Chains A and B, each alone.
Chain A
Amino acid sequence: MTSALEITNLRKSFGQTEIIRGVDLSVRKGERHAVIGPNGAGKSTLYNLITGRFAQTAGTVQLHGQDLRGKAPFQINRLGLSRSFQITNIFPNMSVFENIRCALLWTRGYKYSFWTLVSRKQDLTDAADEILAQINLTSRRDLPAGVLSYAEQRALEIGITIAGGADVIMLDEPTAGMSHSETDYIVELIRQVTENKTLMMVEHDMGVVFGLADRISVLVYGEIIATGTPEEVRGNPRVQEAYLGTAMEDH
């Protein structure tokens, strides 16, 4: 089976401290892969390494077989990888519709164009409206994104992340700070929008992970201690010991 993301012996040190200590991870094409782990395990650092926000100390990250070392975030994005952020990262002053439309511009080929007027491009408007319908924000279309509720902003963030049409989607704790009903809503949304795409997500909420992921990797102190289906991970004694403990039994 081909992998969308192939991470080999990835390491990252900040000064003397090694945060990521040799991660090997392969995310298969079309699967939903979750990375879980306790606070401080290095999940977000791993994310930032993959998406080019930080430079790795050693090891390789390959996207569809292409080495990402030294590539800037925008170059990685153009290779077909899109990410969301743990802290909501939208364009708060723009309307909800503008947010999505901006996310569409590059992949729709408008690039650095200064000779087309965006409002005259029906394909952009239609595509943006389609995504708004997908993330159920049509009724909020013309509001400034900054005034949306937290859950709506998270939904918008997912919309921005998928709008570019990237086939590898990386979500960083998409349900962080949400109520139960909001979480259910977002999980359902993620399930829909990542249909036929490769999803990699970092998550804290066990319910989300076990309901959504095809495979799970457990990251503890910068190392992957187990990878497998939810059942395999659930049954793994090392995982239980290191991380899940009693939290497992709730689910």
Chain B
Amino acid sequence: MTQTSQISASRQAPGLSLGVVMPWLLSAAALVLLPMVFTANSAITVMNQMAITIIFALAYNMLLGQGGMLSFGHAVYMGVGGFACMHIMNMSDFFAALPLPVLPIFGGLVGMGLAIVVGSFSTRSSGTVFAMISLGVGELIAACSIIIVVFFGGEEGISGDRTYGLPFFGIEFLRQIEVYYLTAFWLMLSALLMFLFSRTPIGRIANAVRDNPERAEFLGYSQRWVRFHSFVASGFFAGVAGALFAINYEILTEENLNLATSGEILLVTFLGGVGFFFGPIIGAIVFTLLRTVLGLETELWALYVGLLFLVTVMYFPGGLAGLLMMHSPAVKMKRLRSLVVPYAKVLVPGAFAIIGAACLIEMVFHLRHAPPGDHQMTLFWISFDSHTILPWTVSAVLLIGGGWLAKRFAPEMANSYHAATSLDGGGA
């Protein structure tokens, strides 16, 4: 899955071509225009959250995807960066002389400082040892949040007020939209810097160490130092994400450091796809949407996200980005249209099967957890009595019928996929 991205990188001419600049320009334009389309405050909150998660996931992928380091405790670099920024916000004299948009630099530097300390011993080896050290350090710092109350604020955490900063061209960041543009600016800058990092000698060698550490050693590189550099850079951007979190929410707690947050970013990154630079971006967008939109609809949203993650790991190890890039040959050969019908034949019944399954899960949940006597429930805008046989039958029929149809047309879909993506049009 990583192949395509790396090859296209090596083909780049020394100059900047339109194909390279275009995605960045489009992203920047989208970031500028989005709040004009989604004007609601809640939408802007979701977009801010998305931007922060994207930066964090991209930083995480510098380790996982680019460097082959599986970290179970990366939340601490974001969290500690955020806590430090919270403290800067509370230093009234200093903060009054500091424009808010500059604050993420401090978050980044603190995250980087912590990464230098931890990385000095954790990057000694990769694989399981690295993963275990990251887990241990993650736990350690999360535990410190209750012990070192001065810095972490104990159970209530640390809060502050972003508006006390030096007004930035008259902007005091009172309004959500102002914070949005600050976050979007840092998102573009961080993403661009992280992308460029992957194109530097150290970024390329990080890939080499990931694929074959021993060979890289025989090219003159110390695998430990290569990992250390990636780790420190990743710590910086995680700290930037932490600073943006502090600016957005004006409070940080133990939750920003703990293993649940660390695990979540692993899930986000993997869901999006570690093999491509833009994978974590997709992962962060999808995950944030699932959490906010699905989270409004059902208490069981985490179950569905978990299932999605499981399916991704088992069937699409390249993640959503890998799934998209699987179709790039079909796009190049302009055969995408030949896929529409066979895909619809599988995906539409498949969607019904998923809806059926979700209904069954929700009804079981309702049956078990609704207060006694409450038989009414609403699913997909339909209200019904969960104690009658009809909704159960409908759901089961959807699940079984949809599943059967999807399974029946799956070979056809696979065939048309191969036909559309192979050079000879699938004749072989």
Contacts and interface: CB of A to CB of B under 8 A. Distances in A.
Interface string B179-200: 0000000000000000011011
B337 interface: no
Interface stretch (A17-25, A34-42, A105-113, A232-240): A105-113
Given A115-B200, A144-B7, A77 B14 contact: no
B309 interface: no
B214 interface: yes
Given A74-B222, A92-B212, A119-B9, 6 more contacts: A72-B217, A74-B218, A102-B219, A105-B219, A113-B200, A144-B7
A88 to B, nearest CB: 10
Interface in B1-59: 2-3, 6-7, 9-14
Contacts of B9: 98, 119
A220 B226 CA distance: 39
Contacts of A97: 10
Interface in A212-232: none
11 contacts: A51-B218, A73-B214, A77-B220, A83-B218, A91-B208, A106-B220, A112-B201, A112-B202, A113-B200, A144-B7, A161-B218
A111 B13 CA distance: 22
A119 B199 contact: yes
A194 interface: no
B157 interface: no
Interface residues of A, number: 45
A78 B10 CA distance: 26
A228 B3 CA distance: 47
A105 B282 CA distance: 32
A55 interface: no
B219 A160 contact: yes
Interface string A13-56: 00000000000000000000000000000000000000101000
A90 B11 contact: no
A138 interface: no
Interface of A: 51, 53, 72-74, 77-78, 82-83, 85, 89-95, 97-98, 101-103, 105-107, 110-120, 122, 125, 142-144, 146, 160-161, 164
A198 B235 CA distance: 44
Give the 3 A-B CB pairs with smallest separation, nearest first: A106-B220, A110-B201, A73-B217
A105 B200 CA distance: 10
Nearest to A77: B220
Contacts of B211: 91-94
B388 to A, nearest CB: 55
A157 to B, nearest CB: 9
A112 B220 contact: no
Contacts of B205: 102, 105, 112
B6 A118 contact: no
Contacts, number: 122
B7 to A, nearest CB: 5
Nearest to B9: A119
Contact of A114 (B197, B215, B218): B197
Given A114-B197, A118-B204, A98 B218 contact: no
A115 B233 CA distance: 12
B409 interface: no
B225 interface: yes
Interface of B: 2-3, 6-7, 9-14, 196-197, 199-205, 207-208, 211-212, 214-223, 225-226, 229, 233
B225 A98 contact: no
Contacts of B221: 74, 105-106
A205 to B, nearest CB: 23
Contacts of A72: 217, 222
Contact of A144 (B3, B14, B201, B215): B3
B204 A101 contact: yes
Contacts of A78: 220
A250 to B, nearest CB: 34
Contact of A102 (B3, B204, B222): B204
A89 B212 CA distance: 8
B218 A113 contact: no
Contacts of B14: 119-120, 122, 125
Contacts of A110: 201
Nearest to B222: A74
Given A77-B217, A91-B207, A91-B208, A101 B10 contact: yes
B214 A113 contact: no
B217 A114 contact: no
B200 A116 contact: yes
Contacts of B13: 119
Q: Which of B2, B201, B205 has the most CB of A within 10 A?
A: B201
A161 B219 CA distance: 8
A138 B88 CA distance: 55
Nearest to A146: B3
A120 B217 CA distance: 25
Contacts of A90: 212, 215
Given A112-B202, A119-B10, A77 B208 contact: no
A198 to B, nearest CB: 16
Contacts of B216: 102
Listed residue (B2, B197, B214, B219) with the most chain A CB atoms within 10 angstroms of its CB? B219
A124 B219 CA distance: 15
Contacts of A146: 3
A118 to B, nearest CB: 6
Nearest to A157: B215
